[in-house]
């Protein structure tokens, strides 16, 4: 029994250590399971600020700039360095603490607001390849 655990632990550590791939980045923002915004990191010149508002009926909204007048929101900042969540109404603020995500990093997740931001090497590759 303990062998199974040790094996899982070792495999996980190996994955964590080797999980770094540097490539051009294709950003996908999902809210409530739907893709609401996509873009390429290399195409970003100035800082792009978006506010994503989740919706229970599957009509999530993306607003340019900062708009914190909604009940639930995540403010996302995209620069040529990477993506980060700068403001959120969620309780634990894990999405903000994840900081700047650069290509090859883990996706940013905000579980309470059902937000997921991924950077995959290019369209249709990486994490997106086994979506659906």
118 binds other proteins (CB under 8 A): yes
Subset of 24-53 contacting other proteins (CB under 8 A) = 28, 30, 33-34
Least distance (Å) between residue 2 CB and other proteins = 6
Least distance (Å) between residue 118 CB and other proteins = 5
20 binds other proteins (CB under 8 A): no
Least distance (Å) between residue 1 CB and other proteins = 5
3 binds other proteins (CB under 8 A): no
Contact between 84 and 102 under an 8 Å Cβ cutoff? The reply is no
Distance of alpha carbon 121 from alpha carbon 105, whole angstroms: 11
21 binds other proteins (CB under 8 A): no
């Amino acid at each position: 029994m303990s062998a199974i655990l040790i094996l899982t632990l070792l495999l996980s550590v190996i994955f964590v250590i080797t999980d770094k791939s540097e490539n051009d980045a294709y950003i996908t923002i999902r809210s409530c399971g739907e893709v609401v915004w996509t873009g390429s990191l290399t195409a970003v010149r100035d800082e792009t600020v978006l506010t994503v508002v989740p919706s229970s009926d599957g009509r999530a909204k993306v607003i340019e700039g900062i708009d914190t007048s909604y009940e639930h929101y995540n403010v996302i900042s995209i620069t040529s360095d990477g993506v980060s969540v700068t403001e959120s109404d969620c309780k634990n603020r894990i999405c903000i603490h994840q900081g700047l995500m650069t290509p090859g990093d883990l996706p940013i997740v905000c579980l309470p607001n059902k937000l997921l931001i991924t950077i995959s090497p290019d369209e249709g590759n990486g994490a997106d390849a086994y979506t659906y």
